[in-house]
Amino acid sequence: MKKTQLTIILICVSILSFGQDINYAKYLIDSLSSPSMHGRGYVYKSDFTAAKFIKSEFEKNKILAFNDNYFQFFKLNTNTFPENMLVELDDNELIPGVDYLLASNSPSIKGNFKVEIIDAKILSNKKKFRKFKKKNHSENFILIDTVGLNNPKFKETYDKIKKQNMLKAKGVIFIQDKNLTYVPSQIINTFPLLEIKRESLPKKIKNININADAEYLSDYKTQNIIGYIEGEIDSFIVFTAHYEHIGRMGKDVYFPGANDNASGTAMVLDLAKTIQSRKEKPHYSIAFILFSGEELGLLGSRHYTQNPVFELDKIKILFNLDMVGSGDKGITLVNGKVFKPEFDKLKSINDEKKYLPEVKSRGAAANSDHYFFYEKGITSFFIYTRGEYKEYHNINDKAENLPLNKFEDLERLLLDFIEK
């Protein structure tokens, strides 16, 4: 046999052994971040729509279910905005998600209100501030402008106005000079808080017309999704990701969550499909867990560790994948400095195969769904990619914007780790 023929055969065998298909991952990310998923939050029960989609992929790829049920149900509380979302400043209508965000813990609010501005001139002058405080602001919105406010003593006052509504206003507006970032909430507050981009503000603001409908969901039923591939022994390698995102802000705006975390969900599902497609049984059993409630405070993973479907001490190692859609600068492993032998093994594979530009380690952090497993003493890592892609918790985290560079190479690294 000629050398070139042998090379081609070896390449083909290598590709088939991985069984990866970037088009499958793209299909998953496109589906999960599509408008029909409504941002995979809790408006229109879109978390359940996403969960049913993931379940169908498990079934299609012949992934087994524990106790004949892929779903693990639990309850959570959250504030949502399913319907009206209108903000006008002096008859200038602002675009939600582009010009402003309504804080996720805001209550319903409707009406036309006067806007009072509190700025550096007032905040830096004790006499002027005392006079401003004595006024009745209960029917007005307070707009805080901190430009030129260099006195660090007033940061506490600023926070009290913004977070605690110390002036007892109808609502509070603060100006955002950075990117808008939406964070969901488990609670509902007593006053609305608006975050408006500076460039979206009219030169002079006198009035605000606002109409926002909040719906607080108490004891909302959501679900984790769990599947597995049986191995030769009854110990598990576990891959996890959170599939839910932050949902909608009104009926016209949703947060797609392509990188956060359709990308991690897609990688878990693609790993499941790839490993299942191989003829050989894996040495370890391999579990795949997709969590709900992560954005609200790691609720799904906490519930799972308190109610595991198989004994936690059977977990050999756990990899949590969260935001893995842009890896042109490499990856970072949270807990890499904690579980050094396992980190070193993964890094040595990458050093040999040159899959990723860099494999970095950092210490422990409670910043994703690996955390409660780590608290239980399980060897667990949170992997995220590093790259130029910066969209996060906004309306631009779309499938068409996500580069997926090094997505396949990260999968290859994890598959090699399993084999070794």
User: Count of CB atoms within 10 A of residue 100's CB?
Assistant: 21
User: How is domain 85-212 classified at the architecture level of CATH?
Assistant: 3-Layer(bba) Sandwich (3.50)
For the chain, the distance separating the N- and C-terminal CA atoms, rounded to the nearest angstrom, is: 30
- Overall pTM surpassing 0.95 (yes/no): no
**What average pLDDT does the segment 157-175 reach?**
92
20-77+218-419: in CATH 3.40.50.10860: no
- pLDDT at residue 377 tops 70: yes
Confidence of residue 158 (pLDDT cuts 50, 70, 90): confident
**What average pLDDT does the segment 340-348 reach?**
98
Closest C-alpha to 290, from 325, 266, 317 = 266
Of residues 158 and 164, more confidence is placed in 164
pLDDT score for 149: 67
Give me the DSSP letters along 270-312. Answer: HHHHHHHHSSSPPSEEEEEEEESSSTTTSHHHHHHHHS-SS-G
Tell me the domain boundaries of the chain.
20-77+218-419, 85-212
Distance between CA 206 and CA 306 in Å, rounded?
52
**What average pLDDT does the segment 34-58 reach?**
98
Confidence of residue 12 (pLDDT cuts 50, 70, 90): very low
- pLDDT at residue 152 tops 80: no
Calculate the CA dihedral of residues 307, 235, 315, 260 and round it to 10 degrees: -90
Instruction: Taking the CA atoms of 197, 262, 239 and 48 in sequence, report the sign of the dihedral they define.
Output: positive
Give me the DSSP letters along 206-246. Answer: -EEEEEE--EEEEEEEEEEEEEEE--SEEEEEEEEEE----
Q: Structure tokens of 358?
A: 């860099």
- Quick check: 355 and 346 in contact, CB under 8 A? no
pLDDT score for 123: 82
- pLDDT at residue 155 tops 90: no
pLDDT score for 13: 41
User: Which residues lie closer than 8 Å to 165 by C-beta, 6 or more apart?
Assistant: 172, 190, 191
- The enclosing H or E element of 321 equals strand 315-321
Q: Structure tokens of 384?
A: 């995220």
- pLDDT at residue 8 tops 80: no
pLDDT score for 261: 98
Same CATH topology for 20-77+218-419 and 85-212: the answer is no
